[in-house]
Structure 1
Amino acid sequence: MTNDTSLAISIDKDVCIGSGQCALTAPDVFTQDDDGYSELLPGKEDGGGDPLVREAARACPVGAITVSEKGS
């Protein structure tokens, strides 16, 4: 997989428990809001080419993050 693939990243706020695993795994893409829940950093809606985005989704203990290739 190449890094120029545009991704669609979705965070289900109703499922997120704020464990922070995504922000620890891919800190250039994910952060936590004031309440501790996951959110994307501004401008990183497509993952920004970060190879750790999929790993961050896998690291989520409740599966709140979905990553797919745009157009698929």
Structure 2
Amino acid sequence: MAVNDTATLTAIVSPSDATNQNVAFSSSDTTIATVTPKLGKVTKIADGDVDITATTEDGGKTAICHITNKPASE
């Protein structure tokens, strides 16, 4: 990915009939990548490793997506 490229993550809440399907996304290092809290749209800021965490609105469950940002030429 080049700087400012984007990708969107999708969180799937299980069970599918859970009353609250809402999740919030966050970045472990916003100098490497940012993420929109509701949509999960990740934007590369710089090369490096970052974790994007999806947390259920009720706080009961989390999932982590580890991303390694390398130069676009690699």
TM-score strictly above 0.5: no
TM superposition score normalised by structure 2 = 0.36
Q: Which has the higher helix share?
A: 1
Q: Which has the higher strand share?
A: 2
Q: Which has the higher contact order (CA 8 A, sep 6+)?
A: 1
TM superposition score normalised by structure 1 = 0.37
